[in-house]
Every structure is written in C-alpha cells, then in structure tokens.
C-alpha cells in the first residue's frame, strides 16, 4: 500500500541541484559553534546558542520580524528561536523544521576528549551533541541561511523551531511551550524532526533509511521504601535497602509481552533483507507471525531491536540511606520505562507494583513529560516521497522504511497539538548508537556532511510541494 502510493507520487521527476561541496566548511563552523556552546541543563544555555543562530540568520538576510526568540521568564537559559522563511503561496501550508538545542550532561573526567570541544579524529567527529542532535540542528540552520541568501523561490513557508528541554523530562520543554503558547507561529502541515535517519552496519555501510512515524512513550516511576532506621550497630530484619533491592531484582528478571504495530511490522519485514542471516530470518518470521516468540527472542538479542519489540523498564537511579553508621530510613530508585503505543502509563505502574510484590515498596509515576502522543502517524506520501527520491540519489539501493523510535522526541508535544511529526534526517549513525546520551558521542565526518547536503536538498523539495 505504502509502496504503491509512493510509486504514483514518484512519477513526477524533480531535478536536484548538485550538492555544494564548498558549504562543508561553513557547515563545520556552525556545527563546531553549536557543539562548543554548552547547552546542558546544569551549566549550559540554549538561549545563548539560539541568540548566536539568530545572529547568523540575520547576517543571511532574515529581517527581525521573521526571527522570534523566546524564553519563559522563569527559565531564562532554556529559551529558543523560531525563524520563518515566508513562501510565495499563501494557500500552501508551511512545513516546520524542529530541533532541540539542549544536550545530555557530559562530564569531562569520564570522556576521553573534552565533550564541549568539537574534535575531528580518524574520520569521526567527537563531542556532546554531535549526534543528538546538533548535526541536524546545524543542517537546518545552514539550509535556511542558504535558501535566504540564494533567494530560493518556494511556495510553502519554511519554519524552524529550535528549542530546549528535550533531554530532561523534568525540564522546561520549549516545544511543549510553543505548542501551548505560540501554536499559530509554528503551525505547519507537518513537522520534520529527529528520530529518523540512516543506520550503518559495523563496517560503515549504509543499511537503511528510516522515517520515524511513531514513538514509545517515556515514563519514569519512583520505587520507594521507608523505614524507622536506627543505629547500624543493632541491625534489624527490615532494611529499606535490602527491601528495595529485592523489588528491583524482580523487575530486572521480567520482560514485558512482545507487541507489534503496522510501523514495526513493516520495519522488520524490510529490515530482514538488509540484515540477513539468523537475525534477518527471525525478522521475516516475526513480521509474518507476531506470535512467533522464538523469532522475537532472536530479535531481542539486539538492544536496538529489543527496544521496539515491547515496553521496557530499567532501573536508572538509586539513592538510599543518610549515614554510613545508620540503618537506612529511606531507599528509592527511578525506573525508566519506554511504553509501547497502546499501553497506558498506569497499566505499567500497576504491573511494576505487582512485580515487586511488596506493599511497602511504593510505586508512583515520577513525572509527566507530555500527554501520551497520538499513535503511529499516517504514512503520508508527501513526507515519504521526497525521502524515497533523495535516498535513491544519495544512497542508491537502500530501502526507506517507516520506523517507531524506542526513544522519545519532542514530536510527542507536536502531535497532540495537531502537527503530524516525522523523523527525517540524512544523518547515518553507527550501529553502536553513536554514543548518544553516553560517552564519547561520535559521528562519521563523511556521514555528517552527506546528511547536511541531503537535508538541504530535501527541504527544497518539500518547500515546493503542492
């Protein structure tokens, strides 16, 4: 069905301009500035980086009236920017390019290189945010600068929203704030966001291009045990730490039931041919029959695939006790769950509570990031068509497949506001996850430049779509 729609759409040929290689130096400078401007929640400032971006756009010819910096008064460092490049046809609906500027915390002492210096080494860029998602942010910004400078003629208005707070569920979220307070400013037929993109195999060969069209819902839970405590020289049977640890062990041994939807079924069916071997055979079998648990078990051996096979929950933070010579009065843990669409946060809470099987371990929802997003997005050929076309040009022969992300993005704030959001990115990450959120985050230099060229081209195609 999806293929047929695309085939019809793709009968209209579009001429693509040759990628302007000279812009790689410019891209690199922008990327470097973005990586080297610390935007972690603890000590960084998205507002500062948004201001630098606004300055560049201004130099490219954006009038102040098309630049909308924003920051909530109580979150002065978590601001962002909306930039508007008006199209010629008032009836053509805008497209929105969405990017988060903030990055996950990174400690210098844990990293091999300074996380806030863009290091190029052995064909890789290293630094916090080089993958998630300053490579894409820089591509969006440079695309807008170039289109403005080139006087590009386009029907649709192109909007860019750079926001903060995506990486920390408890932080002020700029995308959520825009959806609530500036809905008209960001209105679009659809938004392009992180979450999709290419995947390389371990030898760096392009395997697949994905378009994110669904995502799991992140939810944190607190497990807490309290106890009267006392002097550690006279231990008693009930100990908050042991009690919590016993509960956590039970959660660690549990696997949520295998689940499937149209997006993941199509994904596994298409991925099978690329992966081959035992894994490929398991994917084919599972796509045909989701009750084939043997096949699912093979797929689940890969953490990336396991993440889209079912709801997952994992302990991520632990805190207990108040002195090394006192019985703990309190022990708590954070369990981070990624909920498969169709299951509610409350159902998962109830399951965790059942698993720990101890009424003294309180299981509560720790936070609320956003409304539960709408289910899978429609497989809109207006979105997928240009990706198919340009992928065939840049990475001939690799399939384009819809994908569900195990991780969450700011799309979760836009879809409930009526802006269908898709993960479209030309960035190809390594099979190891590129160190995103972890240590020594990295992207292949060649992959970043090619991705930036792809994104420049694809925005031009979307901008003139009817």
Residues that bind Zn ion (CB under 5 A): 132-133, 194
Q: Which two tokens stand for residue 5?
A: 């729609």
CB of 245 to Zn ion, least distance (A): 32
CB nearer to Zn ion: pick between 104 and 297: 104
Angle value at C-alpha 68, between 66 and 71, nearest 5 degrees: 175
CB nearer to Zn ion: pick between 328 and 429: 429
193 forms beta bridges with 423
CB nearer to Zn ion: pick between 44 and 328: 44
Tell me the angle at which helices 134-150 and 23-36 cross, rounded to the nearest 10 degrees.
Answer: 130
CB of 160 to Zn ion, least distance (A): 16
DSSP 442: E
CB atoms within 10 A of CB 224: 17
CB of 437 to Zn ion, least distance (A): 8
CB of 40 to Zn ion, least distance (A): 13
CB of 96 to Zn ion, least distance (A): 16
CB of 454 to Zn ion, least distance (A): 19
Label residue 298 exposed, middle or buried (CB < 10 Å: 0-12, 13-18, 19+): buried
CB nearer to Zn ion: pick between 132 and 332: 132
CB nearer to Zn ion: pick between 249 and 316: 316
CB of 319 to Zn ion, least distance (A): 26
CB of 247 to Zn ion, least distance (A): 31
CB 261 within 8 A of CB 214: yes
CB 69 within 8 A of CB 132: no
CB nearer to Zn ion: pick between 133 and 295: 133
Q: For residue 219, what are the contacts with CB-CB under 8 A and spacing of at least 6?
A: 336, 337, 339, 345, 348, 365, 366, 367, 369
Where is 3: in which H helix or E strand? Answer: helix 2-9
Helix (H, G, I), strand (E, B) or coil at 403: strand
CB nearer to Zn ion: pick between 194 and 332: 194
Nearest to 58 by CA among 140, 137, 144: 144
CB 49 within 8 A of CB 102: no
CB nearer to Zn ion: pick between 133 and 401: 133
Q: Sort strands 206-215 and 197-200 into parallel, antiparallel or unpaired.
A: antiparallel
Letter string b/e over residues 12-28, b meaning 16 or more CB atoms within 10 A of that residue's CB: eeeeeeebeeebbebbb
CB of 195 to Zn ion, least distance (A): 8
Q: Sort strands 95-100 and 190-193 into parallel, antiparallel or unpaired.
A: parallel
CB nearer to Zn ion: pick between 99 and 290: 99
CB nearer to Zn ion: pick between 165 and 328: 165
CB of 104 to Zn ion, least distance (A): 9
Measured from each CB, the residue nearest to Zn ion is 132
Please give the Cα distance from 138 to 452 (Å, whole number): 8
Helix (H, G, I), strand (E, B) or coil at 167: coil
CB 131 within 8 A of CB 429: yes
Angle value at C-alpha 127, between 126 and 131, nearest 5 degrees: 85
CB atoms within 10 A of CB 226: 14
CB nearer to Zn ion: pick between 84 and 179: 179
What are the Cα distances from residue 454, in Å, to 29, 54, 126, 191, 329?
Answer: 18, 23, 21, 17, 56
CB of 136 to Zn ion, least distance (A): 9
CB nearer to Zn ion: pick between 30 and 352: 30
CB of 131 to Zn ion, least distance (A): 8
Please give the Cα distance from 428 to 408 (Å, whole number): 18
């Amino acid at each position: 069905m999806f293929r047929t729609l695309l085939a019809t759409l793709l009968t209209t040929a579009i001429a693509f301009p040759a990628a302007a290689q000279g812009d790689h130096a410019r891209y690199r400078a922008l990327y470097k500035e973005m990586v080297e401007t610390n935007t972690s929640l603890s000590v960084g400032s998205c507002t500062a980086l948004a201001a630098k971006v606004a300055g560049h756009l201004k130099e490219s010819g954006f009038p102040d009236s098309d630049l909308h910096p924003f920051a909530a008064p109580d979150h002065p460092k978590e601001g962002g920017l909306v930039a508007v490049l008006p199209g010629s046809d008032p009836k053509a609906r805008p497209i929105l390019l969405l990017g988060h500027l903030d990055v996950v915390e990174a400690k210098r002492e844990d990293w091999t290189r300074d996380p806030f210096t863009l290091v190029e080494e052995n064909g890789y860029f290293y630094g916090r945010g080089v993958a998630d998602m300053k490579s894409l942010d820089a591509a969006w910004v440079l695309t807008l600068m170039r289109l403005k400078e080139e006087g590009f003629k386009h029907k649709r208005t192109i909007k860019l929203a750079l926001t903060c707070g995506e990486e920390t569920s408890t932080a002020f979220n700029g995308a959520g704030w825009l959806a609530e307070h500036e809905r008209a400013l960001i209105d679009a037929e659809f938004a392009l966001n992180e979450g999709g993109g290419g995947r390389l195999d371990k030898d760096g060969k392009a395997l697949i291009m994905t378009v994110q069209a669904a995502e799991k819902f992140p939810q944190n839970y607190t497990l807490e045990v309290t106890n009267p405590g006392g002097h550690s020289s006279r231990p008693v049977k009930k100990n908050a730490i042991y009690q919590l640890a016993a509960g956590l062990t039970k959660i660690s041994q549990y696997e949520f039931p295998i689940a499937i939807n149209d997006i993941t079924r199509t994904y596994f069916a298409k991925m099978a041919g690329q992966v081959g071997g035992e894994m490929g055979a398991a994917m084919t079998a599972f796509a045909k029959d989701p009750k084939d648990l043997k096949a699912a078990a093979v797929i689940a051996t890969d953490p990336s695939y396991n993440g889209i096979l079912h709801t997952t929950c994992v302990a991520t933070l632990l805190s207990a006790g108040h002195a090394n010579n006192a019985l703990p009065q309190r022990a708590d843990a954070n369990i981070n769950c990624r909920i498969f669409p169709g299951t509610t946060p409350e159902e998962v809470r109830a399951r965790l509570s059942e698993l720990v099987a101890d009424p003294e371990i309180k299981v509560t929802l720790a936070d609320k990031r956003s409304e539960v997003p709408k289910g899978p997005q429609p497989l809109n050929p207006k979105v997928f068509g240009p990706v198919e076309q340009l992928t065939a040009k840049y990475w001939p022969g690799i399939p384009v497949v819809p994908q569900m992300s195990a991780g969450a993005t700011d799309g979760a704030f836009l879809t409930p506001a009526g802006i269908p959001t898709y993960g479209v990115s030309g960035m190809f990450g390594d099979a190891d996850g590129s160190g995103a959120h972890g240590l020594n985050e990295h992207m292949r230099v060649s992959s970043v430049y090619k991705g930036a060229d792809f994104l420049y081209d694809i925005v031009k195609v979307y901008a003139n779509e009817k």
